[in-house]
A and B are shown apart, each in its own frame.
Chain A
Amino acid sequence: MKKVVDVSLPIGPIHPCFKEPCRIKCETSGERVLTTEVELGYVKKGIEKIMIGRPWQETIFLAERVCGICSVVHNTVIVEALEEISGITVSRRAKILRIILNELDRIQSHLLANYSYCYTIEHETLAMYLLNLRETAMDSIEMMTGTRVMSAYIVPGGVREDLSDENAAKILEATYTLETELKRYVKMFETGPMIALRSKGIGVLSAEDALASGVVGPTARANGLPRDAREADPLYHELGWHMILRTESDNFARIMLRFQELFQSVNIIRNGLAALEPGKIRNGGEMKAGRVKHTVEAPRGDLTYDIEIDSAGQVVFVSIQTPSIPNIEVASHAMMKNLASVADVTSTFISADPCIACAER
C-alpha cells in the first residue's frame, strides 16, 4: 500500500511558471496542499527610498521603473499626483490620450496575465496565441509613445506627443484585430473541457477572505466586489466604462473577467479615438509644495501614490501601495489554501496576476 506523507515543498524562487522570482513554500499532506507561504525579497528595488531627496522631474522616470509590465500606469499616477498638488489642469484631448494609452496598457497586461495562466495549465497553444496578440497592443503603444515600455509619455499638464490622424487610424485598425482574434481565443478558453477541469472550482476565494484582505482589481471583481478606481472618473463613464463583475470567485472567473475587460478596453479606445477633438496636448503650470494621496486603476487594481513635495521641488516623502501586495497575500493565505493538488498551486497563484516587481517596489 502506498504511504501518504507530509512534505514541505518549495516552489521557486526560479520556476518556469513564474515571470519573476518568488518562492512559495507549500505544506502538503500527500497531494493535498494544506498551507502556503510566499517569500519575496529577491528583486527588492527600494525605489521609494531612491526617490526621496530627488527633484520631482526625476521621480517620474523612477516611478516607471517600479514595474516593466504596467509602467504606463505608474507614470500616470505620479504625474496626476503632482498635478493635484500644484493645481495643474489637463486639456480634454490630453486626458483622452492618457486614457487610450492606459487602456492599451491594460490590454497588454491582461493578455500577458492570461497567457501566463494558460502556459501554467499547459495550454501552450492558447498561451502563444495570446502572447502573439499582445504584440498588437504593444505595437500600438510604440506607435503612440515611441517605445514599448517606460515611455514617460504622460507629463505634468498633459502628454509628451500628440497622436497623428494616421497613427490614430492604425490604432483603430488594431482594435478590430484585437477584437476579432480575442473572440476566437475566449471561445477556446470558455469551452475547453481540459481548461475547465483545471480552472473551474479551483482556487476559490471566499467572500470573508476577500473582504478581510483588501483584495483589489480583477481578483476582487471576480469575487463580486465592485472595486475599480475608474468609477470615480466621469470621462471613463463618458467613454463607455462600466463595472464588470463575476461571482464564481475561482481561477476560471478571474481569467474570464480579464477577457471581458479586454473587450471593454477595446471599446473605450474606440470611443476615445472618436471623441478626440483638435486641441492643446499640454498646459503649463508651476510645481508647488504639498502632499497628496492619489489612486488610479492599474491593470491589477488600485495603485496609490502618497507623495509630498517641498518648496524646492524635491520629494520629501513617498509611499507606493501597489495592487499586487493584497492580491499576492490573499493568494497565499486563502486561494492556495487546501488545494486538492500541488499542480494547482502555480496556476492559482498566476490567476491572481501577481506582479513581483510591483510588490518589491
Chain B
Amino acid sequence: MNFIYEKNLEPMKLNTLNGVRQNEVASLLAKRLGISRQMMRKILIAKCDQMTLENLGPRYDAAELIAADDEIGAALSLPHLTTATGILSNESAAHYREMAEEKHAFISDIIKAILEEIS
C-alpha cells in the first residue's frame, strides 16, 4: 500500500545530524562508546525520531549534569543513552548498572553488551 506522507525519513534525519550541535553530540557519544561517528549516526538514525535528533544538544547537556553525580552511569554512558537519546530503555540501563555494581563483568565488556543491544 502506498501512503501519501509515509516517507523514508533517513535523509532528513541525516540532514538534522549534520547540524553543528547535533554533529558535535554525535561525535561525543561515539567517543564515549568507542565507536566511529558514522556508526553512532547510524544508530541514532535508526533509533531516534526527528525531534529527538533536533534536540540532541540540550538533552546531552542534561545527561552530562546527571552523569556528573553518577560515577557508574558516567562510565557506562547510561544517562547519555537514556536521557539524552532514549536509545536504551530504563530497564536495560538498570540491568547494566547492576552488572557493574556487583562486578559481574568488566566495564568494557558491559559497554560491548550495550553496543550489541543498541546496534
Contact = CB atoms under 8 A, between A and B. Distances in A.
Interface residues of A, number: 25
B50 A41 contact: yes
Contacts of B50: 37-41
Contact of A332 (B12, B21, B51): B51
A13 B51 contact: no
Nearest to A359: B54
A219 to B, nearest CB: 13
Interface stretch (A137-145, A161-169, A257-265, A322-330): A322-330
B52 interface: yes
A321 interface: yes
Q: Which residue among A23, A211, A214, A317 has the maximum number of chain B CB atoms within 10 Å of its CB?
A: A214
A213 B59 contact: yes
Contacts of B51: 37-38, 40, 325, 328-329, 332-333
A206 to B, nearest CB: 13
A10 interface: yes
Q: Which residue among B12, B20, B58, B86 has the maximum number of chain A CB atoms within 10 Å of its CB?
A: B58
A309 to B, nearest CB: 16
Contact of A333 (B15, B19, B52): B52
B19 A319 contact: yes
B54 A214 contact: no
Contacts of A213: 55, 58-59, 62
B5 interface: yes
Interface in A290-341: 306, 317, 319, 321, 325-326, 328-329, 332-333
Nearest to A13: B5
A132 to B, nearest CB: 33
Contact of B83 (A13, A48, A212, A321): A212
A328 B57 CA distance: 14
Contact of A306 (B12, B20, B55): B20
Contact of A329 (B5, B19, B52): B52
A328 B55 CA distance: 9
Contacts of A23: 5
Contacts of A326: 55, 58
A39 B59 contact: no
Interface in B40-93: 49-52, 54-55, 57-59, 61-63, 83, 86
Size band of the interface chain B makes with A: 20 to 34
B2 to A, nearest CB: 14
30 contacts: A23-B5, A37-B49, A37-B50, A37-B51, A38-B51, A40-B50, A40-B51, A40-B54, A41-B12, A41-B50, A48-B20, A211-B62, A212-B62, A212-B63, A213-B58, A213-B59, A213-B62, A319-B20, A319-B21, A325-B51, A325-B54, A325-B55, A328-B54, A329-B59, A332-B49, A332-B51, A333-B51, A333-B52, A333-B86, A359-B54
Contacts of A39: 9, 49-50
Contacts of B59: 212-214, 329
A10 B5 CA distance: 9
Interface string A23-60: 10000000000000111110010001000000000000
B55 A329 contact: yes
A167 B34 CA distance: 62
A349 to B, nearest CB: 12
A120 to B, nearest CB: 20
Contact of A214 (B9, B19, B49, B55): B55
A13 B83 CA distance: 28
Nearest to A324: B54
A329 B57 CA distance: 12
Contacts of A211: 62
Given A48-B19, A211-B62, A332-B51, 17 more contacts: A39-B9, A39-B50, A41-B12, A48-B20, A213-B55, A213-B58, A214-B59, A214-B61, A317-B20, A319-B20, A325-B51, A325-B55, A328-B54, A329-B52, A329-B54, A329-B59, A332-B49
A113 B15 CA distance: 29
Contacts of A359: 54
